[in-house]
Amino acid sequence: VEGLPAVTVYPNPGKGVFRLNGAIGAGSIYVSDATGKIIFQTDYTELDHVIVDLGDRPAGNYFMRLRTKTGSVTRKLIITGR
């Protein structure tokens, strides 16, 4: 996405704790479930990595939106069985 740095998410699929790596400018992260309900939200300052802990959530597909002042990107997160 133009204006957004390359962001990698791992492990994905994973057991619920995901690490975002990249030169991430200040912004917000929103994670929603399959119905669109926001189940996780956090704001952050400029970081090289961010931890998203969804370890209390059941296995399934989730969608993470990373928003900065330069744009946004959405990634699918997959939580596998424990």
Instruction: Kindly report, residue by residue over 46-58, the tens digit of the pLDDT.
Output: 766 788 999 999 9
10-35 average pLDDT score: 89
Asked whether the predicted pLDDT for residue 30 surpasses 90, the reply is: yes
Q: What is the pLDDT of residue 24?
A: 67
User: 32-80: per-residue pLDDT in tens?
Assistant: 999 999 999 998 887 667 889 999 999 999 999 988 888 888 899 999 9
Supply 45's token pair: 């300052």
Task: Tell me, letter by letter, the H, E, C secondary structure of the chain.
Answer: CCCCCCCEEECCCECCEEEEEEEECCEEEEEECCCCCEEEEEEECCEEEEEEECCCCCCEEEEEEEEECCEEEEEEEEECCC
- What is the per-residue pLDDT for 1? 46
Residues 35, 37, 49, 59, CA torsion sign = negative
Structural tokens at position 49: 């990595």
